[in-house]
Structure 1
Amino acid sequence: MPRRGTNGRPRTTDHGPRHSATGWPVLRGEIWQVDLSPVRGSEPDKQWPAIVVSNDRANSTAARLGRGVISVVPITSNADRVYPFQVLLSPGPSGLTVESKGQAEQVRSIAVQRFMRRIGRVSSTELAAIDDALRLHLDL
């Protein structure tokens, strides 16, 4: 049952339910610092920036319930070589401090408890390029 405000109506925010650990909503296209440990093989580990790629409705439900998973594309600052299934990301408004790349080949769904803090947001052009990279990698 939803929590009620002083007026007796369910509490809401402008952006949907907030992530229980951070107090922020988790929205598609945002960049979050996430904890990817433990990992296996060549998966990125430790705390890592990642772009939220799952839809806002699923993200909102997972954040509201405090359980479930949200799909992300990890980001690396090793942007010397960018493959067709990766996307070059600019520093600045995104919250990134250096040129980086989104790695669609590393897409994964992670528990909401792994979200540490919001860093920023990719541009609509960069998000469209991430979608294209995911389609290429997943052969959709």
Structure 2
Amino acid sequence: DMALDPTRQEVGEELKRATGGRGVDVVVETSGNYEALNHAFRGLAFGGNVAYVGWSKECKGGLDFGEVAHFTIPNLIFARACSDPNRDHPRWSFARIMDTCWRMLAEGRFNCEDILQPVVPFSESAEAYKEFVELHPERSVKLGVRFD
């Protein structure tokens, strides 16, 4: 398991290096950044899956479906699980997804500390949203809000 920063490294190359050149079976892309999606495609094994969780703005170019798409043949799965019906409903209801995710977090199976940055108090959330989501999304993967 790895968490990589596409602003500091070529994630596709790092994923290939970590797997002896094969690539990974699954990438979960949470940022909604199109360049991060390009990195994810480049790091996949043949026929691998990208679970795209992030909420993207309109794409005005920048996605590279050339060589990667034709030689890797990736599967792009849009993973919207915030309400029913989701892709796997009724087998996976919103309640089952929430229960499973909370259990996995409690078991330490996910480390989200480096993904949620910055974490701001609720009183600063409107300004932080404008700064890190609207104006400079490249500076934050996910904005956290603390309700003290």
Scaled by the length of structure 1, the TM-score of the pair is 0.25
Select the structure with the greater relative contact order (CA < 8 A; seq sep ≥ 6): 1
Give TM-score, length-normalised by structure 2: 0.24
Greater helix fraction, Structure 1 or Structure 2: 2
Q: Which has the larger radius of gyration?
A: 2
